[in-house]
Amino acid sequence: MTDPADGEPLAASQAILNPLSDSAIFLVLTVAAGNEQLVHDALGDISGLVRSVGFRVPDGVLTCITSIGSDAWSRLFDGPRPNQLHVLPEFHGAVHSSVSTPGDILFHIRAKGMDLCFELASLLVERFGGMSAVVDEVHGFKYFEERDLLGFVDGTENPTGALAVRNVIVRDDEPQFVGGSYVVVQKYLHNLTAWNTLTVEQQEQAIGRGKADNVEQAEEKKAPNAHTVLTVLTDADGNELKIVRDNMPFGRVGEAEFGTYFIGYAKTPAVTESMLKNMFVGAPEGNYDRILDFSTAVTGSLYFTPTGDFLDDPPPLPPTPAPTLAPTPTLPLAT
């Protein structure tokens, strides 16, 4: 991959900047204690599994982005770790709160068709299943013209080209992890019954964007608690800070479960976390995101996405600490 910003080559980044897909499966796994070596060895098999499944449908554009959580990183790899990798904090506002849930490995599987996603997910669970547990599984689908189940187009503001690389891919700020990225995921459940009691105009005020035409409202017309107001951040020079969202709708109509799986990649998790703080705590405090009155976050976790080369040949496991021996008891002297 070549950096379009300056022509310098980047390490073999995973398919983070690929176009949005029609289908996706998100798998979150936790690694059972004592299985670190088995999981470490299995990481090198992922790219082969992707090739084996993708070869069957050459134009299916099958990819799998693999990311590692903070606790698992310390357990799986010796040596340096990404500087900003940590457990996702919770954000507590006066009305709404986010959650932080367990996650050691995230598989973000994408393709044109669900058949490819499902086949690869099955093989990954088979390969990792005996040593880890699937704690979350979401099957996402394209909903009309990239809309979420609230009826609005999602991902409109994703950066592309050089702008995407500058905002999403780790470069010289972390030289040992060039080509990687940080990713935050959250599963949101929507109360569509309540949402659909709003007029279209009220819904547009909550989002800050037209529902039919997807045109962003003029700044002076936006409500202060609109989603597009609270999730726009700028740096000290006034440049907008971007993330790449690959959100997907999901749902089960029989159980009235309707939701959006949020997934955001950035070169620093501080950007995504600042957005979440604005949404839940408010900016200013108390001015929380209106969308949260209808959408509840039920999961949340943070990972680092290393390069494909890193996963194909990962660093060794951390050394096992030497066992601590109990002191030999001193026998009393005979008298």
Whose CA is closest to 88, among 245, 231, 260, 264?
264
Residue 84 is classified by DSSP as: T
Cis omega (within 30 of 0) for bond into 284: yes
Torsion on CA atoms 14, 124, 154, 306, rounded to nearest 10? -30
**Candidate list 104, 136, 148, 154, residue with the active-site label:** 154
Q: Locate 211 and state its tokens.
A: 């529902």
Place of tokens 């799998």: 64
Residue 295, C-beta contacts closer than 8 angstroms, at least 6 positions apart? 150, 188, 189, 190, 191, 259, 260
Q: Which residues pair with 138 in a beta bridge?
A: 26
Number of DSSP helices (H) and strands (E) in the chain, helices first: 10, 12
Q: Is the distance from CB of 295 to CB of 187 less than 8 angstroms?
A: no
**How far is residue 13's CA from residue 35's CA, in Å, rounded to a whole number?**
27
Furthest-apart CA pair in the chain: how many Å? 98
Token pair listed for 66:
């693999």
Name the burial class of residue 257, with classes exposed (0-12), middle (13-18) and buried (19+) by CB atoms within 10 angstroms of its CB: exposed
Rounded-to-integer distance, Cα 298 and Cα 264, Å: 16
User: Would residue 3 show up in a list of annotated catalytic residues for this protein?
Assistant: no
Nearest to 318, CA basis, from 31, 30, 37, 32: 37
* Helical spans, DSSP H, in the chain: 36-43, 46-54, 70-76, 114-128, 161-168, 192-195, 200-207, 227-230, 269-280, 308-312
Task: Please answer whether residues 303 and 311 qualify as being in contact, where contact means their C-beta atoms are separated by less than 8 angstroms.
Answer: no
Give catalytic residues, as residue numbers.
Answer: 154
